[in-house]
Amino acid sequence: MSISKRSMFFALAVAAFCFAALPGASEAKTKPFKVAGISSPEYRGSKSLETIKKKVEAGTEGRVKLDVFPANQLGDYTQVFEEIRRGSIEMGLIFLPSQFDVMLEIGSLPFLASSGEEMKKQLSPGSYVYEIIDNSLDKLGVKLLRLYGDGFIGVGLTKKPESPADPDVKKDAMIRVAPVAVYKETAEDMGYRTTNIPYADTYSAIQTGVCDGWIGGSSQINYLSFRDVIKYYVPYNCLFDQTAYIINKKLWESMSPEDQKVLMDAVNVEADKSFADSATEDLEFQKKLQEAGVEIIEVSDAERDTLAKHIRANTWPKLAETYGEETLERIKKDL
């Protein structure tokens, strides 16, 4: 072999070696996205991630692969959110931690809507509430794919409240609230006394009588986690539990439009479905609570409507300090 041919062969061999050693295009495209979930594998939100995984991997012909880690396997939602911002976790379906921006709480305004279908409108693209959350996340380096409806929130209690739907009647019950203004103000304006207790300590606090109940979960959460310590459940539907499908913004922008569409189409189906599922699920778990010996204290539509008007007239102005008066006035117009 001549020197020139030998040199050319050597150069080609070196180039091939270097190309093989580097993370090439095909390898980079098939590197799995870590997807964090906060709920148990049996929960419908976790199942939605598995459905999205199958659709995305098939629709992108393996260019995008998703590794789903439910049940806080990658950390709690505040930790996961930080990791998604940095890109060390690519995607998640989690609660949005408001310590990064208080406006991420805006979807939890009390009595923002009275039904799953109305809540879907408030928490879907095109609404002012959704726009606020979307813009807040964008500034934090996170792309909002969609909001997911987990369900309306009630109050689980060890004591039967007097006139539960009358906010002017002070209840002889102290209930645990999350350390968020919207929960505290709503509960107190419904006639309850409140105390801040970490969620992890809530079960034992109710069991030992430190508090008489809690606000912060749907009928499903009350059944799965508190049915042994509560005796009553009031389905106020005063607040709405939601999580968010989010992805690292830079990663999203690096994806091809075709792959973005496949992912968005899969997420949209699950997000749209979640709001209707939450309504069905709520009734299903209220029945399970009854079967477990928990009394459901019914609230009529008329009572709930009166309570909603009271909360919007009295609680919302208190929250104007947090979210801004103009913001709340704009949301009121959309109701």
How many C-beta atoms surround the C-beta of residue 312 within 10 A?
18
**For position 178, what pLDDT does the model report?**
86
Report the C-alpha gap between 282 and 289 in whole angstroms.
Answer: 10
Domains with residue ranges and CATH for the chain: 26-334 (3.40.190.170)
pLDDT tens across 83-108, in order? Answer: 999 999 999 999 999 999 999 999 99
Q: Assess contact for 334 and 127: CB atoms under 8 A.
A: yes
pLDDT surpassing 60 at residue 1: no
Mean pLDDT of 216-237: 94
- Residue 199 has a pLDDT of 83
pLDDT at 334: 82
Per-residue pLDDT tens for 48-63? 999 999 999 999 999 9
Distance set, CA 220 to CA 149, 153, 195, 306, 323 (Å): 13, 10, 23, 25, 29
Helix (H) or strand (E) holding 150: strand 142-157
What tens digit of pLDDT does each residue of 236-287 get? 999 999 999 999 999 999 999 999 999 999 999 999 999 999 999 999 999 9
Using CA atoms, how far apart are residues 329 and 128, in angstroms rounded to an integer? 11
Q: What is the pLDDT of residues 117-155, one digit of tens each?
A: 999 999 999 999 999 999 999 999 999 999 999 999 999
pTM, rounded to two decimals: 0.85
Give the chain's mean pLDDT.
91
pLDDT score at 112 = 96
pLDDT at 151: 93
The answer, yes or no, to whether residue 15 has pLDDT greater than 70, is no
Tokens of 134: 């979307």
3-state secondary structure of 176: strand
Q: How far apart are CA 213 and CA 159, in angstroms?
A: 8
